[in-house]
A and B are shown apart, each in its own frame.
Chain A
Amino acid sequence: MEYFLQQLINGLTLGAIYGLIALGYTMVYSILGMINFAHGTIYMMGAFISLIAYLAATTIGGASVVVALFVALFATMGFTGLWGWTMERVAYRPLRAAPRLAPLISAIGVSIILQNFVAQAQGARVKPLPPVIRGGFSLMEGDGFAISLSWMQIIVVLTTLALMAGFTWMITSTSLGRAQRACEQDMKMAALLGIDVDRVISTTFVIGASLAGVAGLMVTLYYGVIDFYIGFLAGIKAFTAAVLGGIGSLPGAMLGGLLIGLIEALWSAYFSIEYKDVATFGILVMVLVFRPTGLLGRPDVEKI
């Protein structure tokens, strides 16, 4: 039981991070109908930028840990957001009228370029960051077991919850969110109402990318090691989360992320860690067989 609870906590933490990345996939998909395969790479960039910003703030700037963390947060969101914007302008917008395969190939190209750039600029070896936030609680102790909940886990889950809540509010209740949904449902009509569709699409990329950036920051702090390749698998997992939850559905992306995190943690704990990815994708396939639109996805019949 204690062991189970411990894995639940670990799984939720991991799932929160996947969920944040998954939001970016699902947002771009719902507005452009394309999978932004370079999204995982943005998450990787976020991890590197946060590492650099944190180290620069503490060692060069002499900032305290809390200040340095905020510097890292804003630097990461800023840079990844800017990168998301640039990527859309350079690699996707010119191809918007092209056949669907073209932006996909463009995305893969962008992602290879970025990975290689980071590998060149930062070196291909694993980058460590000494633990920044230590300590935590022991929730239950006894019989040689202790369930621990680290501060870091609390921060990851709370940050994710706050971002998701803010994001949900933005989509449901602000004029920007409404414009985004309008573009998603009928872009031509949105333009006829005076909406600058290009700007809405740019904003979507910026928001999705900065959320992935935050995920990168949290992974850096949580695991303490990153390399230029982390974007690949995390990207695929988050994409899986988005599909599992129902691609195009925002609550679906969050739910999918949590489920993938939980499946991974519990499977590693009870079965075999080597097969955790097999389990994740196996469950994805099963869900898609029985619910092709994902858990919270809507059937396509309603689409116009």
Chain B
Amino acid sequence: MLRVEGLCSGYGRIQALHGVDIHVAKGEIVTLVGANGAGKTTLLMTICGNPRASAGKVLLDGEDITRLPTHLIMRKGLAHSPEGRRVFPRMTVLENLQMGAALGDPRHFDQDLERTLALFPRLKERLNQRGGTLSGGEQQMLAIARALMSRPQVLLLDEPSLGLAPLVVRHIFEIIAAINRDHGVTIFLVEQNAFHALKLAHRGYVMVNGKVALSGTGAELLANPEIRAHYLDGGVS
């Protein structure tokens, strides 16, 4: 479904990705974990064309999308809930969701809205509230809901648990599982919260300094002593 081959990119003269290879098969939840600054966000953003890849390829369903401009990449069935949520603060929840559906057929809107709000009942009560006034957890829900409104085949999620209370994190992870299970959306999840992410995912990659250091099934990685030492027991969890 989504395949990244030898991807390099960075910011100006700073290179942040050094040849990353990753693939996500249809219907999977794949997670990418790694410490702060490893290059996870850069990878997701490079997949979306900003920053541009300096070498390597991004393939979506076999089609090379590496050189397309961002807005065209996003029309290929990819949706992104980016780091920091980036909810439009001066738009209402409904308008944010309409923006998510900007590319879609307007005739699907009501149906998609209903389906999305069924996953996030909290948003339903707040449709006319402005995005900037939502709580962190609600903003995260809105960011994911907005991404779903385009009926994506692949959903990219960048640290949905960041800055949220444990209870909210658990709730959001349950919803992510439901999106994958009930709606058949393939998910590529970037997390620092390795424990939750690896438990949820079918497979995982560990990124260190802009390279993939390890990969395996979620259970394998969870059992790996090195990972436990770095990311679970003492590390960021």
Give A105 Cβ to nearest chain B Cβ, in Å: 24
Q: A178-B98, A179-B102, A302-B132 are in contact. Are A192 and B48 (CB under 8 A)?
A: yes
Chain B binder among A36-44, A141-149, A159-167, A194-202: A194-202
Chain B residues, Cβ within 8 Å of A194: 71-72, 74-75, 102-103, 150
Give B106 Cβ to nearest chain A Cβ, in Å: 8
Chain B residues, Cβ within 8 Å of A182: 88, 91, 99
Query: Is A67 located at the chain interface by the 8 A CB criterion?
Result: no
Chain A residues, Cβ within 8 Å of B150: 193-194
With both beta carbons as reference points, the residue of chain B lying nearest to A304 in the complex is identified as: B89
Q: A178-B98, A194-B102, A195-B102 are in contact. Are A189 and B86 (CB under 8 A)?
A: yes
Query: Is B80 located at the chain interface by the 8 A CB criterion?
Result: yes
B102 and A181 form a contact (CB under 8 A): no
How far, in angstroms, from A74 to B226 measured CA to CA in the complex? 71
Chain B residues, Cβ within 8 Å of A116: none
How many contacting A-B pairs (Cβ < 8 A)?
A: 63
With both beta carbons as reference points, the residue of chain A lying nearest to B76 in the complex is identified as: A194
Query: Is A284 located at the chain interface by the 8 A CB criterion?
Result: no
Chain B residues, Cβ within 8 Å of A181: 88, 90-91, 95
How far, in angstroms, from A179 to B101 measured CA to CA in the complex? 11
Give B187 Cβ to nearest chain A Cβ, in Å: 16
With both beta carbons as reference points, the residue of chain A lying nearest to B143 in the complex is identified as: A189
Chain B residues, Cβ within 8 Å of A193: 74, 99-100, 102-103, 146, 150
Number of interface residues of A (CB under 8 A): 19
Interface centre among A182, A189, A194, A196 (most CB of B within 10 A): A194
How far, in angstroms, from A182 to B99 measured CA to CA in the complex? 8
A185 and B80 form a contact (CB under 8 A): no
- Complex interface residues of chain A between 186 and 244 (CB less than 8 A to chain B): 186, 188-197
B75 and A175 form a contact (CB under 8 A): no
Give which listed residue, A185, A191, A196, A197, contacts B88 with CB less than 8 A: A185
Query: Is B82 located at the chain interface by the 8 A CB criterion?
Result: yes
With both beta carbons as reference points, the residue of chain B lying nearest to A189 in the complex is identified as: B86
Give which listed residue, A175, A179, A186, A195, contacts B86 with CB less than 8 A: A186
How far, in angstroms, from A192 to B103 measured CA to CA in the complex? 11
Q: Contact residues of B with A, CB < 8 Å?
A: 48, 50, 70-72, 74-75, 80, 82, 86, 88-91, 95, 98-100, 102-103, 132, 146, 150
Q: Can you name 22 A-B pairs with beta carbons within 8 Å? A: A175-B98, A175-B102, A178-B95, A178-B98, A178-B102, A181-B95, A182-B91, A182-B99, A185-B89, A185-B90, A185-B91, A186-B86, A189-B82, A189-B88, A193-B74, A193-B99, A193-B100, A194-B72, A194-B74, A194-B150, A302-B132, A304-B89
Q: Contact residues of A with B, CB < 8 Å?
A: 175, 178-179, 181-182, 185-186, 188-197, 302, 304
